[in-house]
Structure 1
Amino acid sequence: MDRPPADPYQRDCPSRQVLDRIGDRWTVLVVGALSDGPLRFSQLAARIDGVSQKMLTQTLRALERDGLVTRTIYPQVPPRVEYELTEAGVTLQEPLQALENWAKTHMPTILTARQQYDAALPAVNTP
């Protein structure tokens, strides 16, 4: 059965779910952290400052479900688990690195714009 072409501007298009996944802050950081190779959960948590165990677990499960990350369990005591980008996950590295670079480059401009915007707002509790 032929599927219609993906159109994320249509509410029921599955590509919206893909965009939600790859546009998520934790996904961007997990893919970036795994860019240099496989890591254990504790290594990922240490690399991604501020991510909770719950969010990291949810993000890794979602990325595994979407075929972007593999989870390998090594039969040893205690069991060792590593996470690694799949081929599809590796293809995300370049666009997400570009997004990260854009954010770093434009952060000063955005922070200045926020300050100017906030300063121009009328006081909330002005009598």
Structure 2
Amino acid sequence: MVSETKNKHYQCPVEATLDVIGGKWKPLILWQLKAEKLRFSGLQQSMQGISPKMLTKQLRELEEAGLILREIYPEIPPRVEYSLTEFGKTVLPVLDALCEWGNKYLDRECAFDKNEDLKTVGGCTSQ
């Protein structure tokens, strides 16, 4: 089955999902907005390593996809806050599942590392 959205052809729903929320930063942006509205600077501070240009690009793409809302307040200087839309909140179970799987993966890797490191000093700490 081939689906089309905004001139894009998808072979399956997973491909569409990854196109919308995939990549290094988009899931992390959505995760940060899970609990509260954040300003640009708050997002950037909570996501070490993302450049302002990349954050802007990712926010625009998520806004275009209808997952986040960009609210501009008529103040001087202008205040802009980002939050999840109602539709954006529908992706939270997906992110929760990714978080759960990631925890299991990290636990597995830590256990593997501990077994490998029995002869050496050190090991891994679980979060």
Q: TM-score, normalised by structure 2?
A: 0.72
Distance change (3 Å), C-alpha of 1:25 and 1:97: farther
Distance 1:83 1:73 in 2: 9
Partner secondary structure for residue 62 of structure 2: helix
Partner secondary structure for residue 70 of structure 2: strand
Match of 1:54 in 2: 53
Write out per-residue CA displacement over residues 86-109 of structure 1, whole angstroms, 9 at most, x where no aligned residue.
Answer: 011111111112102211320253
Unmatched runs of 5 consecutive residues or more in structure 2: 117-127
Match of 1:13 in 2: 10
Write out per-residue CA displacement over residues 27-62 of structure 1, whole angstroms, 9 at most, x where no aligned residue.
Answer: 110111001121000001111122111111111000
Q: Give the share of equivalent positions with the same residue, in percent.
A: 40
Match of 1:106 in 2: 105
In terms of fraction of residues, the more helix-rich structure is: 1
Q: TM-score, normalised by structure 1?
A: 0.72
Contact 2:3 2:9 in 1 (8 A): no
Amino acid at match of 1:104: N
Amino acid at match of 1:13: Y
**Residue 66 of structure 1 pairs with residue 65 of structure 2:** yes
Partner secondary structure for residue 70 of structure 1: strand
Match of 1:42 in 2: 41
In terms of fraction of residues, the more strand-rich structure is: 2
How many matched pairs? 108
Q: RMSD of the alignment, in Å?
A: 2.6
Unmatched runs of 5 consecutive residues or more in structure 1: 117-127
Match of 2:28 in 1: 29
